[in-house]
Amino acid sequence: MNFVATLGASALVVSLACALVAIAASVYGHRAGRRDALAMGRRAIYAVAALNTLAISLLAYALLTDDFSIAHVASVSSSNMQTHMKWASLWSGQPGSLLFWTWMMSVWMAAFVRITVPKIPWGAPHAVATAGAIIASFLFASAFFASPFRMSPVTPADGQGLNPLLVDPGMLIHPPFLLTGLVSTAIPFIVGAAALMAGKIDNAWIRHARGWALGSFLVLSIGNVLGGWWAYTVLGWGGYWGWDPVENSAILPLLPLVGFLHALVVQERRGMLKAWNLVLVLAAFALAVFGTFNVRSGLVASVHSFAQSEVGPYFLVLVGMVLVASVVLMVWRLPRMHSDYEFESLVSRETSLILNTYVMVAIALVVLGGTLFPVFSELFRDVRITVGPPFYNDVAGPLLLIMVLLMGIGTILPWRKAAPGLLQRRFAAPVLATLVATAALFVLGVRDVFAIATLAAAILVIVASLREYAVGTKALRTARGASWPAAFGGIFNRDPSRYGGYLVHIGVAVMAISVVATNVYQEQHRVVVSPGETFEAGGYTMRFEDLVVRRPGVDGIESDIVAQVTILDGDRVVDVMEPGRRFFTNFPDQPTAIVDVEGNLQRDLYMFVQGWDEDRLTELQVFVNPLQQWLWIGSGIFVAGGLLAFAPFRAPRRVEVTATETPPGTQPA
């Protein structure tokens, strides 16, 4: 008997039992008015987190000690894998990623039960029971359908090793962020569901859901950016986003989350969008579960691959249950969801925020439609039609442009309604600065209409946000007689969500500029060269020196064959790049690309090797990606803004006056 496997499998089964206890104790405690039962329900959630932590620690131990008698360890690890790659194999493969997902979800739930449940007495039992039901569903799959503790039929001398595409240090951070981002969408869902069950559809639930939604949004955004970075530096096709079904699954829940973060401000300040906010949190979690099902079932590879996966159909049932439960709850409580106020003017911040949520939902529908299109085409027409990047670029591209434009306009518009004089004053400087910058771009040679429009919208966002910082800082300085730096710091303290949010917007705008530059102005060169031969690309002379063979002897790598290419600017050596191909002992048919990137703020030189012949005649692909690094810089600004926004709402915030500029947070109603 394998002690580790037996203990791990038992931990999962006992954990499932605890999750069921959490449901039963909460329901009973609520009905019978028994506080001890309610406390037991909460403790059961802590027990689930503890037992899942034990289970994942045991799996990590089995991986680190090369226990190949456990089938999962034998299929994703091997004895010559380095320790950090063994850690990365913990969340790879179906059983590993499902256990990670379940463990992480239970940790978030335990934190939620500790931090938020005591603050929502009106919905505490509902929230704990919902958490128990969700975690029980995943534990059931992890314990019985895809257990990571199944034994190998025969213990192999060595493991198979990690899938070649995953042998990269990026695997240490990208999947944990993504999986954590996806599971964390459960918490706003739980708060929303508890509000619906308890019939408490006022602003209380959004205040408690906001921090969790913002955290989930941030972690999921970081996961997506890391995914783009991994695709860029590992996959070797010159880009970072290919609208692949798996990428789509990861971005889908993010869109309703962004919508929620904006719609909640409208509910908080104006008592509107109550139903919409609930729909958005419910949709974010439903899409996260859909994504898990989509990735796991092989649905997008072939509609008939349902049967190939043990957990795929199970997840489909889960998605169905989440959807049905959400719709039933919504319909039940709809009569209570009336708005406290009506629109006063279409030209207002409310309108821009509402349009924002519509744009987010529209983008989500396009991405979902594109992802599922092959399935429906096969079901109804028996032809598998896959939609690729051109579809998304044509349909989602304009929506993204509208999103950036709205972001700029929304930042400038005041709440409720605006006197014409005020509108003129607020719009004048940002619009003028945008026009000047756009004209400069035109003079510099930017002619593509889509590029000009998006760049102009992005510049508007940046200028409008900077203006907000300037106005807020000036007003606070005048009100408090503070120094400029103190007043600037003060505005974040007074209204973190607003000023942090503007920094997120600046990050998005910087990313949009990079996306336009890399998509519209990317240069591609394909050359076939012999050793010693030179070629020109990106304004440089490049000399292919020769192919070199290396044998790192770790991570299942048989050999790395790299092409040494010297980059010359005149006579000056800028860099020696070493793109190549990596071959794996246990996966002879799956060599991977070794990408080399030489970057600065203006452009990335991106190089990979397509192939070579016996005379070392080598085919190289060189991409010049303008402003690529700004994508990562923009992401950094985005994350910094998200972290700054991460502060609790202050006492009921009031609506900004429309006639004058006032210090942030001091506006009268």
Binding positions for ligand HEM, rule: CB under 6 A? 210, 214, 258, 261-262, 265, 349, 352-353, 356, 359, 403, 406-407, 410-411, 497-498, 500-501, 504-505, 508, 642, 645
Task: Identify the three-state secondary structure at position 570.
Answer: coil
- DSSP summary character for residue 141: I
CB of 516 to ligand HEM, least distance (A): 15
Question: How far is 624 from 631, CA to CA, in rounded Å?
Answer: 15
Q: Between 350 and 596, name the residue whose CB sits nearer to ligand HEM.
A: 350
Contacts of 435 (CB under 8 A, 6+ apart): none
Q: Between 5 and 353, name the residue whose CB sits nearer to ligand HEM.
A: 353
Q: Which of 80, 265, 263, 289 is nearest to 179 (CA)?
A: 289
Q: Between 349 and 603, name the residue whose CB sits nearer to ligand HEM.
A: 349
The structure tokens listed for 9 are 């499998």
CB of 422 to ligand HEM, least distance (A): 16
Q: Between 67 and 268, name the residue whose CB sits nearer to ligand HEM.
A: 268
Contacts of 424 (CB under 8 A, 6+ apart): none
Q: Between 25 and 504, name the residue whose CB sits nearer to ligand HEM.
A: 504
Assess contact for 330 and 282: CB atoms under 8 A.
Answer: yes
Q: Between 72 and 262, name the residue whose CB sits nearer to ligand HEM.
A: 262
CB of 425 to ligand HEM, least distance (A): 18
Question: How far is 629 from 637, CA to CA, in rounded Å?
Answer: 13
Q: Between 67 and 350, name the residue whose CB sits nearer to ligand HEM.
A: 350
Look up tokens 């989440």; give the residue. Answer: 322
Q: Between 505 and 582, name the residue whose CB sits nearer to ligand HEM.
A: 505
Assess contact for 415 and 350: CB atoms under 8 A.
Answer: yes
**Amino acid present at 92:** S
Question: How far is 205 from 192, CA to CA, in rounded Å?
Answer: 7
CB of 16 to ligand HEM, least distance (A): 35
CB of 663 to ligand HEM, least distance (A): 14
Q: How far is CA 237 from the centre of its chain?
A: 21
Question: How far is 586 from 161, CA to CA, in rounded Å?
Answer: 7
Beta pairing partners, 599: 604
Q: Between 151 and 471, name the residue whose CB sits nearer to ligand HEM.
A: 471
The H or E element that residue 31 is part of is helix 3-32
CB of 654 to ligand HEM, least distance (A): 12
CB of 414 to ligand HEM, least distance (A): 10
Task: Identify the three-state secondary structure at position 413.
Answer: coil
CB of 259 to ligand HEM, least distance (A): 9
Question: How far is 215 from 195, CA to CA, in rounded Å?
Answer: 20
* Strand pairing category for 592-594 and 572-577: unpaired
Q: What are phi and psi of 24, to 5 degrees?
A: -60, -45
CB of 498 to ligand HEM, least distance (A): 4
